C-alpha cells in the first residue's frame, strides 16, 4: 500500500488545537494561554530520558498557577486509558514487538501517574479529583459526536481522551487495532504536554512534559513503521 494513503484516524491539527484550548479554558487559565500560546514541542531533547524529580524543593501549597494543576488532572486519566490498552495488549497481542511496547507503556505511564498524584498532594494539599470520560467529552472535546472538529471523534467512535476497549477486544486483528488507537492517543498526550513546556510553574511538570513528548514521539514512529509492514 502507498504510504501516503495510510490514515491513522488522526483529526486535523486545527481541530486538535481547538479541542485542547477547551482543556484549559475558563478564568485565569484562558488569559494565561492567550499569553503563552501553544508552544511547539522542544526538538532538542537529550537521548536519555529527562530526570523527573521525586522530591520537592518546598512543601508550600501552590495556588498561583493553575496550568500545572489542570495538566495533572487531565493527564492522569489519559495515562490510565493508555495503561488499560497496554494491559490488554500484554495478553492479546500476537507480535512480540507489540507486547514489548505495551509493557514499556504500562511501566512508564504507571510511574508517571504515581509521580503526578504525589506532586498534586504536595502542591495542592488534596488528592487528584476523579473525572469521568463524559466530563472530558463535554468540557474538553465538545459535544460533537459524529465527526472530527470540536468533538474530535475518530474512527470507531473513539473520543481522543478515551480508549475504545470494546472495539479493541473485539477487533479481528488486535495488533493492527491497537496501533490505530494508540497512535492518536499518544498524539493527544504530546499536544497536552507541549502546552505546558513554557507555562508550567514547577520544573517537575516541565521535565515530565519533555519526557512524554520524547518517549511517545519515538513510540509513534515505531508504531507507524509496524503498521506499514502489515499493509
User: For residue 46, is pLDDT > 70?
Assistant: no
Q: What is the mean pLDDT of residues 40-56?
A: 42
User: For residue 18, is pLDDT > 80?
Assistant: no
Query: What is the domain-level CATH number for residue 129?
Result: 1.20.1260.10
* Within a domain: 44: no
* Within a domain: 57: no
* Within a domain: 5: no
Q: Give the residue numbers spanning the domain of 161.
A: 14-36+64-229
Are 74 and 162 contacting, i.e. CB atoms less than 8 angstroms apart? Answer: no
Q: Calculate the dihedral angle through the C-alpha atoms of 180, 185, 191, 197, rounding to the nearest 10 degrees.
A: -130
Query: What does the DSSP 8-state code read for residue 159?
Result: B
Q: How high is the mean pLDDT of the chain?
A: 73
Q: Residue 9 — left, alpha, or beta (φ > 0 → left; ψ -120 to 50 → alpha)?
A: left
Q: What is the pLDDT of residues 83-125, one digit of tens each?
A: 999 999 999 999 999 999 999 999 999 999 999 999 999 999 9
* Within a domain: 156: yes
* Within a domain: 45: no
Are 186 and 213 contacting, i.e. CB atoms less than 8 angstroms apart? Answer: no
Distance (Å, whole) CA 223 – CA 90: 16
* Within a domain: 105: yes
* Residue of 187, 172, 169, 198 whose CA lies nearest to 223: 187
* Within a domain: 175: yes
Distance (Å, whole) CA 188 – CA 151: 14
Locate all alpha helices (DSSP H) within the chain, ordered by sequence. 13-23, 27-36, 66-92, 96-124, 133-139, 165-170, 174-194, 203-229
* Within a domain: 69: yes
Q: What is the mean pLDDT of residues 209-214?
A: 98
Does residue 136 or residue 164 have the better pLDDT? Answer: 164
Count of the separate structural domains present in the chain: 1
pLDDT (0 to 100) of residue 229: 84
Amino acid at each position: 500500500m502507498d504510504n501516503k494513503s495510510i490514515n491513522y484516524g488522526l483529526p486535523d491539527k486545527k481541530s486538535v488545537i481547538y479541542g485542547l484550548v477547551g482543556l484549559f479554558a475558563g478564568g485565569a487559565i484562558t488569559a494565561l494561554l492567550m499569553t503563552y500560546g501553544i508552544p511547539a514541542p522542544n526538538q532538542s531533547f537529550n537521548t536519555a530520558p529527562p530526570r523527573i524529580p521525586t522530591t520537592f524543593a518546598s512543601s508550600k501549597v501552590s495556588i498561583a498557577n493553575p496550568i500545572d494543576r489542570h495538566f495533572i488532572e487531565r493527564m492522569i486519566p489519559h495515562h490510565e486509558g493508555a495503561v488499560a490498552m497496554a494491559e490488554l495488549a500484554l495478553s492479546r497481542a500476537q507480535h512480540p514487538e507489540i507486547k514489548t511496547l505495551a509493557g514499556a507503556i504500562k511501566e512508564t505511564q504507571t510511574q508517571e501517574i504515581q509521580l503526578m498524584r504525589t506532586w498534586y498532594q504536595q502542591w495542592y494539599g488534596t488528592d487528584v479529583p476523579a473525572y469521568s470520560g463524559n466530563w472530558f467529552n463535554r468540557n474538553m472535546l465538545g459535544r460533537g459526536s459524529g465527526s472530527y472538529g470540536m468533538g474530535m471523534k475518530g474512527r470507531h467512535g473513539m473520543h481522543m481522551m478515551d480508549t475504545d476497549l470494546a472495539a479493541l477486544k473485539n477487533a479481528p486483528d488486535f495488533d493492527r487495532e491497537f496501533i490505530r488507537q494508540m497512535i492518536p492517543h499518544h498524539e493527544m498526550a504530546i499536544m497536552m504536554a507541549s502546552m505546558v513546556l513554557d507555562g508550567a510553574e514547577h520544573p517537575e511538570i516541565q521535565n515530565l512534559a519533555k519526557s512524554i513528548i520524547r518517549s511517545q514521539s519515538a513510540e509513534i514512529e515505531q508504531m507507524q513503521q509496524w503498521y506499514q509492514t502489515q499493509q
